Amino acid sequence: MNHALRRALNAVLVAVGLAIAGAAAAQQRFIVMASTTSTEQSGLFGHLLPLFKQASGIDVRVVAVGTGQALDMARRGDADVVFVHDTVAEEKFVADGFSRRRLPVMFNDFVLIGPAADPARARGLEIAAALGKVAAAGAAFISRGDKSGTHAAELRLWEQARIDLAAARPAGYRECGCGMGPALNMASSTNAYLLADRGTWLSFKNRGELKVLVEGDKALFNQYGVMVVDSARHPHVKQVLAQAFADWLTSPAGQTAIAAYKIGGEQLFFPDATASGRARGGKRAEVARP
Amino acid sequence: MSPPLLVLADASVRFGTVEALRGVNLKLRRGERLALVGANGSGKTTLLRLLHGLVSCSSGARVMQGGGAAPVVAMLFQRPFVLSLSVRQNLIVALWLRGLPRAERSARAADALHRVGLEGLAARPARELSGGQQQRLALARAWALRPDLLLLDEPTASLDPSAKREVESLIEAIAAEGVTLVMSTHNLGQAKRLAGRVACLEAGRLVVDLPVAEFFTSTLPPAAAQFLKGELPWA
Amino acid sequence: MNTIADSLGLAAGLIVSFDAALWRIVGLSLRVSGTACVLGAIAGLLLGTWLAVARFRGLGVLVWALNTLLALPSVVVGLLVYLLLSRAGPLGPLGILFTPTAMVIAQSILVVPLIAALSRRLVLDALRDGGDQLQSMGATPLQAGAVLLVHGRFAVLTILLTAFGRAIAEVGAVMIVGGNIDGVTRVMTTAIALETSKGDLPLALALGIVLLGVVGLVNLAVGAMQLRSPLAREALV
């Protein structure tokens, strides 16, 4: 009986050892990128990352969470590069010394989604006015409430509409503390209004009676930035590989790839990495394909 | 007189507030066959466990006698506990627990199974055996250890008459090899058949301790006498 | 109920078409949860048996703690393991966050209380029947525990299958420590969560059906193994 037990224990130890070794061996050319669920769900990465892999041989492993969590991950050093869409939070990240610089990459836009019947009569208005109507009508409105880039944008828009959520919360306002997809699910099943990024909306399949009611307002533009985590702060970060990614994203090749991504013939993201932005970013590191 | 094996000197056993045995004095000799009788709750099981060493005295002493190695003790209970393994494997486990090497375990298991007549059922799941067969397995398990002392707690109480007879004859055979026997029983006929000495317990005290012939013919203390009367008819 | 009908069709289609991505995800789920159960079994059975046979002050507190941990939410386990394995945490230098190894660790921690609590109950009950006999046969408390685990091995198997079910069905822990990285740490449950949040409900449900089917096959295999042994057949009665 002792003999069998010993053999079993050996087998287990070998298996665990192999698992750890396997993880170590896979420490090859890959980086971990913290990004947002909305960006991943738009399908952009499925289109972009294989192109980057082809060009550089580097695997990008995407962990998609909310903007707040993504930046927190990067602060802890659990990611090599961060790609989110909350300029204010990103600039603070750089100011706090976790990254040397922020590079603008692209923008997409938010849209106001609502029931086709549009009880608040918000259709076609400018976003500030539209939100005012939604509040006045007490119509159901779903907020992500999760400190994401989308949530931050939504809060700024309420401010622009001169509505103080803390003091005078609109009657139908609901916070779900969830990602874009679940929020859309909720809006779809309760016929509510909500602010969504166009990318997630275009690939969302459970629309019910929801339609785009407000779009194109300058205030709805949503800027994305990429930041390489500073290896001075976290020595283990794969600085060279991560920088290669950031450089590629902002290079003509990467920017073209971004513009080429379409859902149903519609372009989702509009590249806007400027030459000066790249210059500020410093010399591009040459990465040879193995 | 054969040498003493085990002595209890004014031994008491207490569980919490309950005194299960009080001031028991007992001298057990090698090769003796002692029957313990008494009402339920009189302390027979506790006395057996004390003799085994499974419980210790809260006062008084339990002393092993004689030089040499500590005596090997085996015990049987009223309801035999067999593992959900084969008959043979049950024996192997018992021998393994005693630290015997593999070859010897095999040999002793085969021998013990043969002695109790269970070799034909060696591969059967032990739980499938009848009550009598399981008790024979328990005896084989005890026998395989070559015990110096065999303790039995009402071993045939839950068996039918033919199974009773089988088990009794096996106990007799073991005793005939010189193994010291202490057996508790409600069955006075059994006590008469198997024992050389009978002790009666009442409320934790040893009230009678006589050779078997005298036990059944003497005037007994009132409590013991009453117990005996209550037990007739004979099995 | 259209979604459910759609899902059944989708599930059948997925299985028949042998979608490579799907089977990679299924394989990873099985490997992660299977390994977690093996590791959890070793720790859990030891702990449970020890708690059944041990006698010391404060044992009651330990048992209370164990029973409380049965309700540990998987997302909390995920969070704790994340903090442990994060670069900012004590085991950061190991660099195993966002790998299957981290997922195995989290799920092992998740199933240990379950296995320990149930095996403790099993051994305790068995001790009531056979504790005296085993003690009289010279077994130390741990030996008695081990023998009784073998004695109750079919119940132990059920305990392990329960643990496996808990592990393979959970999403909170593997999502946080694995990151649901496509091709690396995406398992059945995180894939289902992803498809749900994308609004692709039929696909999400179809994946759920596939998951149940896979676990069903595992149980079939275990059951078949049991039937081969006459002792097992007797235990099934």
Average pLDDT of the segment spanning A34-63: 93
Superfamily (CATH) of domain C19-187: MetI-like (1.10.3720.10)
Note the pLDDT of residue C20: 85
Chain C touching partners, 3 or more CB pairs below 8 A: A, B
CB proximity C179 to A under 8 Å = yes
ipTM of model: 0.86
What percentage of chain A exceeds 70 in pLDDT?
A: 87
Average pLDDT of the segment spanning C65-82: 96
Chain A touching partners, 3 or more CB pairs below 8 A: C
Is A242 within 8 Å of A80 (Cβ atoms)?
yes
CA-nearest residue to A187 within chain C is C199
- For residue B133, the SS3 value is helix
pLDDT band at B68 (very low <50, low <70, confident <90, very high): low
What string of H, E and C letters represents the secondary structure of chain C?
A: CHHHHHHHHHHHHHHHHCCHHHHHHHHHHHHHHHHHHHHHHHHHHHHHHHHHHCCCCCHHHHHHHHHHHCCCCHHHHHHHHHHHHCCCCCCHHHCCCCCHHHHHHHHHHHHHHHHHHHHHHHHHHHHHHHHHHHHHCCCCHHHHHHHHHHHCHHHHHHHHHHHHHHHHHCCHHHHHHHCCCCCCCCCHHHHHHHHHHCCCHHHHHHHHHHHHHHHHHHHHHHHHHHHCCHHHHHHHC
Report CB contact under 8 Å: C130, B127. no
Is A123 within 8 Å of A213 (Cβ atoms)?
yes
- The span from the CA of C215 to the CA of C230, in Å, is 25
C88: nearest CB among A12, A62, A76: A76
- The span from the CA of A36 to the CA of A82, in Å, is 9
Residues 48-107 of C with CB under 8 A from A: 86-89, 92-93, 95-101, 104
Note the pLDDT of residue B181: 95
Average pLDDT of the segment spanning C61-78: 95
Average pLDDT of the segment spanning B51-73: 84
CB proximity B107 to C under 8 Å = no
pLDDT score of A29 more than 60: yes
pLDDT in tens, A118-174: 999 999 999 999 999 999 999 999 999 887 778 888 999 999 999 998 888 899 999
Report CB contact under 8 Å: C199, A26. no
Tell me what the pLDDT averaged over chain A comes to. Answer: 86
- The span from the CA of C196 to the CA of A189, in Å, is 14
B97: nearest CB among C129, C143, C234: C143
- Closest chain C C-alpha to B220 CA, distance in angstroms: 34
- Closest chain A C-alpha to C58 CA, distance in angstroms: 30
pLDDT score of A284 more than 60: no
Query: Facing residues of B110 across strands?
Result: none
Domain parsing of chain B, residue ranges: 4-231
Note the pLDDT of residue A3: 66
Task: Mean pLDDT check: name the lowest of A284-288, C166-170, C198-202.
Answer: A284-288
Report CB contact under 8 Å: C180, A64. yes
Tell me what the pLDDT averaged over chain C comes to. Answer: 91
- The span from the CA of C159 to the CA of C103, in Å, is 21
More confident position, B53 or C47: C47
pLDDT in tens, A77-132: 999 999 998 888 999 999 999 999 999 999 989 999 999 999 999 999 999 999 99
CA-nearest residue to C129 within chain B is B81
Side-chain half-sphere CA neighbours of A21 within 13 A:
6
Report CB contact under 8 Å: B85, C234. no
CA-nearest residue to B46 within chain C is C132
Report CB contact under 8 Å: B73, C150. no
More confident position, A241 or A4: A241
pLDDT band at B214 (very low <50, low <70, confident <90, very high): confident
pLDDT score of C92 more than 70: yes
- Please name each of the domains of chain A with its CATH number: 7-108+223-281 (3.40.190.10), 109-220 (3.40.190.10)
Residues of chain B in contact with residue C133, where contact means CB-CB under 8 angstroms, are 75, 77, 80-81
Class of domain B4-231: alpha beta
Is C163 within 8 Å of C32 (Cβ atoms)?
no
C87: nearest CB among A180, A206, A236: A236
CA-nearest residue to A21 within chain C is C101
Report CB contact under 8 Å: A12, C38. yes
pLDDT score of A7 more than 90: no
Note the pLDDT of residue A198: 86
- For residue A110, the SS3 value is strand
pLDDT band at C221 (very low <50, low <70, confident <90, very high): confident
